[in-house]
Structure formats: C-alpha cells, structure tokens
Amino acid sequence: MSTHDDEHARTPEDPTPDAAAAAASDEVPGTADGVPAADDPATAAAVAAPRDGAAHAQPRRRARGLWIAGGAAVLAVVAVVVAIVVTQRDEPVAAPTTPPAVTITNPLPTPVGTPAERETKTPLQKALPDSVLQWTVVTQERTKVAKKPLESYRLTYTDGAGGTVVVDVVQARTVEAAAEAAQKSADGDTAPSEGSTVTELPVRVGDNEVGTASVATGGEVGLATWTNGTTAFRATGPGAAIENFFLAFPL
C-alpha cells in the first residue's frame, strides 16, 4: 500500500526542481525567470559571444587546412622534379655540338718540263698557254682546214710521263663557222673511246658564259670541244684527265 511519500519519492536519476529549471534555462536561453533574452543584456551577450573553445577551434582548423594544402603542393613539386631527374638519368640528352669545318684543298699540279719555243706573233698565238696544270707545250704547228680560217694551229702538250694532249685551234671568220669547225676532226685526230660519257659544260670568260663545251670522259681517249666567240677548240687526250685540262685551259 503506497503512501503519499512513496508517490513523491524520486529516484536518483530524477532531477530536482532547481536542476530542471537550470537545464531548461541552458537549453533555451532567455526563458529563465520568465525574462526574454532580448530584454536581459547579460543573457543576450552570453548568447552572442561564442564559447572560447569554439572561437579558438575555427582558426586552428583553418590553419591546419592551409598547412595540409601547402604540404600537398610541395609534395607535388618534389614529385615532378624527381620524375624529371629520373627520366634524364635514364635517357641522357647529349649537348648539341658543331662539327669543325673541314676544307680539303688539293694542290694544283705544276707544269713538268720547260715549254718549247713557239711562234707568238699574233694575238691568238700569244694567248695560247705554254702550260696547263702539269701539261707543258712541246710543239706548235700550223694546220690547214677547210673554208680558209684566219688562223689554225695544233699544239701538243705532255706531262713528262708519257701522257699527251693535242689541241687544235681554229680562228674562224664568224661564230657559226667556229661552231662548225669545233665539230670537225682535224687530220690525224683521234676519236674518243666507245662508251665514253659525254657531259655538257658551260664555257666562261670571267663571269660571262660564252658557249657550251662537250666533254667525253671515262674511256682511254677523251675529247673536249668548245668555242669562244669565233675561236674553236678540240682537245684530245687521256679520258681521265681531259675534263680537268678543259677546265684549266684559259681560253
């Protein structure tokens, strides 16, 4: 049978009236003692001001976030640098180098022997060379060709080792006659070897191109024919040397 005291008995877990009021005041600010928070300056200040722990915790969290982001960026840069170093170590790149300039100059052959005495009365005779590279003139004689040219000569050059180049020179009256004379072989002229390679080369006087030469090389006997204005030339000699002879001939 319960008594009045039993009905009002409280267990230790039940809060006392004062404790309940205090809890209600903490949970709902501004309701304690029936005074609204807006009308109680102390309560309003307490509500507006953040707790010390919360106020300091937010800057700390922000600073920690900045440190973490900065550390991640540093790690990313380090990773890139390490990758570049490892790649360069695996595949070395040689520094560009400029090869030295190489110039090969072969000395020009010098004339062998002493040029023979020859007639040099006319301008053409004087212009004909005594030597060409290693070749030295040994004879000069007049020749007879058709159509009565103004002058015609045969010069023989030797290299002192058994090699011979024969040059027929015709001073014609016209350019057309000179071109025709260059294509005709003179008496005793040796034909170029069969299978020779024929090359067309320009004939130059200084910087001016005055004609075209036909040079047959590659065989035992070579032939070079060309004109210079009204003068025709036919040079017969060793197939391996005739082109150089033509290139070095001054007319």
Q: What does the pLDDT look like over 14-50, one tens digit per residue?
A: 455 454 444 444 444 444 454 454 455 554 444 444 5
Instruction: Give the separation between CA 192 and CA 220, rounded to whole angstroms.
Output: 8
Strand, helix or coil for residue 115: coil
Average pLDDT over residues 228-250: 94
Q: Once rounded to an integer, what is the mean pLDDT over residues 191-213?
A: 86
Which pLDDT score is estimated for 39? 52
Closest CA to 165 of 200, 128, 195: 128
What single-letter amino acid sits at 72?
A
**Mean per-residue pLDDT for 3-22?**
47
Q: What is the model's pLDDT at position 144? A: 85
- What's 220's DSSP letter? S
As a whole number, mean pLDDT of residues 138-150 equals 88
Beta carbons of 131 and 247 less than 8 angstroms apart: no
User: From CA 164, how far away is CA 190, in angstroms rounded?
Assistant: 12
Query: From its phi and psi, is residue 38 left (phi > 0), alpha (psi between -120 and 50) or beta?
Result: alpha
| Rounded-to-integer distance, Cα 185 and Cα 225, Å | 10
Q: What is the pTM for the complete model shown?
A: 0.58
Q: Write out pLDDT tens, residues 147-199.
A: 788 999 999 999 999 999 999 999 999 999 999 999 887 666 777 888 889 99
